[in-house]
Amino acid sequence: ARLAGRRVACPTSRTADTRSSRPAAPSRTAYLCAQLIVLLYMYDESSSRDLQGRTLHEPSMHVAEVTQPVDNAKNGQPARQDDQPSHVLAVEQTLDKTFPHTSLAAETASNSRNDESMLAVDEGCDGGGSDPLLSDAASQGVRKRFLIVLNPRRMLSAGEVSGALGDLGTFLPDVVALSNVFGAGLPVVPVCFWSGAWSCFAGILFDIPMPIQPMHTVVAVCLTEGLTYAQLVAAGAWLGGILFVLGASGLIAPIQRRIPLACVRGLQLGLGLKVFGAGVRLVTKTQRWWGGAPNFDGMLSGLIASAIALVCYGRRSCPTSLILVGLGCVCAALSRPSLSMEFSSPVAAVPTMVWDDWWVALYRAALPQLPVTLLNSVVATAKLAEDLYPAKDVPANRIAMSVGFMDISTVWFGHFPSCHGCGGLAAQHAFGARTGSSMALMGLVKICLALFLGRSIIGALAAFPQSVVGVLLALSGIELAVPCRDMHGRADVVVMLLGAALVLSLGTGLAFVVSFVAALFLKLNPHMREAECGH
């Protein structure tokens, strides 16, 4: 109402009292100011669309595929399912199956639109009763953006605190598992520090609960194929540079469209099975039922954790990963690990790398991770953010530049290759997070733990029961393989199974190349297309 220039009567006091929990309309000025301030992070495009439609101009391919359902809804037409691209439909179907009691995206999008309309009416009244620190950060200047997102009243609200914990479900299991693989070679303190710093940065930049998660394909390759720390850093540098260039040039949508979805699903299925197997081996490697002191690590604790996972998995009201992490923390606390207040440097030494490290990192980690990141972390996350927070401007190009800049700038100093995630965004929203303050809260917690507990964090991670870590890894493997259920065509299933089998036998790099060639061959073969249509 305020953007259209119409005057609306002042709402009731009940509506005004609840305005602190509702997002406001987007502001193009605030976004452009943030781009200039934060390390020249974004670039200003020459043309823009009308403020009432979209804030920033995006490539025509992305507009045609992603924003068409929203434009239809604005024109009074129902958003048809065939308007959605296949990867977005896959993500939405996975969310609906994971949360069977309600359609998360549709319900939350409707509620968010209603809340935004009410807040627009509130802002049209100059009653002076609102608290500017509790309003939407996107509608404020750069200085107020920091103050709003980092405001304690906003961060410590029940929904933001609950939603902030959703980020631990993927972060902590991966860090614990990698610390067991690399040992002292993994700089745990810099990993926690930079993850916290980028969580704060993402919360301030987007003002939605945009998660910071380790790249699961890279984690899986490290756990199953034995990458060195130098190769891990090189993989992050490759991915960061490629994603930043793709985001800045606007090539995200065309490249993502030309990567066969069946190849991506094959990598996900194979790596999911690999990670699941690694988790089972962690549960059974102790060869004893009852671990006893100090942390009760044994097959019995693994069975208890597995029972919890079976009961709670897929329920919105029962955060499985958080319960398992809590169980592991209790067992670790029983061993009384030595924790001391000591300051540690959050910057790790740059590892020595040779050319072979760069080649191995590109072939075995970066190349398999790239299509997964483009699909799930960039395009699908942008679409889900548009569904959940339609008043916020979160284009795919900006997400790609955020991931690229994050990895290429800090992976040298101990930050694990990370990205934003569609599943993490959905989980944090389901737990109650609605703004970037939830990410800022979790980021500050990680920074404080890294700075003040220092290397004693390593002892606490070492005391974490391996059996519980195994169950968490098994769940991560299942989550990695769940999106593969959207493959229905005969040719797509063949390519997916071929890629998964090659991942299990020969590794991710060769699996991606062979499955890509197979998908191209099947696409160009008219007999295979006719057989698929007949099937």
What are the boundaries of each domain within the chain? 13-144, 158-232+261-359+415-479, 487-534
Q: Please state, in angstroms and rounded to a whole number, the distance separating the CA atoms of residues 258 and 496.
A: 16
pLDDT at 239: 94
pLDDT at 56: 33
**Range in 58-72, 187-201, 244-258, 456-470 with the lowest mean pLDDT:** 58-72
pLDDT exceeds cutoff 90 at 358: yes
pLDDT exceeds cutoff 80 at 129: no
SS3 141: coil
Q: Say if residues 468 and 334 touch (Cβ distance below 8 Å).
A: no
Q: Which distant-in-sequence residues (6+ apart) come within 8 Å of 114 by Cβ?
A: none
Q: Whole-angstrom distance between the N-terminal and C-terminal Cα of the chain? A: 52
pLDDT at 160: 84
Average pLDDT over residues 58-83: 41
Percent above pLDDT 70 for the chain: 64
Average pLDDT over residues 12-21: 38
pTM of the prediction? 0.60
Q: 313 or 350: whose pLDDT is higher?
A: 350
Percent above pLDDT 90 for the chain: 9
Average pLDDT over residues 9-22: 39
Q: Please state, in angstroms and rounded to a whole number, the distance separating the CA atoms of residues 287 and 448.
A: 38
Average pLDDT over residues 326-350: 76
Q: Which two tokens stand for residue 431?
A: 């737990």
Q: Please state, in angstroms and rounded to a whole number, the distance separating the CA atoms of residues 262 and 270.
A: 12
Q: Which distant-in-sequence residues (6+ apart) come within 8 Å of 9 by Cβ?
A: none
Q: Please state, in angstroms and rounded to a whole number, the distance separating the CA atoms of residues 179 and 186.
A: 6
Amino acid letter, 250: G
Distances (CA, A) of 319 to 169, 274, 281, 406, 475: 8, 24, 24, 28, 12
SS3 491: helix
In which band, very low, low, confident or very high, does the pLDDT at 532 lie, cut at 50, 70 and 90?
Answer: low
Q: What is the pLDDT of residues 396-450, one digit of tens each?
A: 889 999 999 999 998 998 888 999 877 678 777 767 788 889 899 999 988 988 8
Q: 105 or 403: whose pLDDT is higher?
A: 403
pLDDT at 503: 84
In which band, very low, low, confident or very high, does the pLDDT at 292 lie, cut at 50, 70 and 90?
Answer: low
Q: What is the pLDDT of residues 359-372, one digit of tens each?
A: 999 988 898 888 87
pLDDT exceeds cutoff 80 at 33: no
Q: Say if residues 415 and 146 touch (Cβ distance below 8 Å).
A: no
pLDDT at 57: 33
pLDDT at 469: 79
pLDDT at 498: 92
C-alpha R_g of the chain: 23
pLDDT exceeds cutoff 80 at 391: yes
**Closest to 371 (Cα-Cα) out of 513, 466, 520, 213:** 513
Average pLDDT over residues 507-528: 81
pLDDT exceeds cutoff 90 at 237: yes
Q: Please state, in angstroms and rounded to a whole number, the distance separating the CA atoms of residues 379 and 409.
A: 22
DSSP 474-486: HHHHHHHHGGGGG
Q: 41 or 276: whose pLDDT is higher?
A: 276
Q: What is the pLDDT of residues 173-208, one digit of tens each?
A: 778 778 777 766 678 888 889 999 999 999 888 889
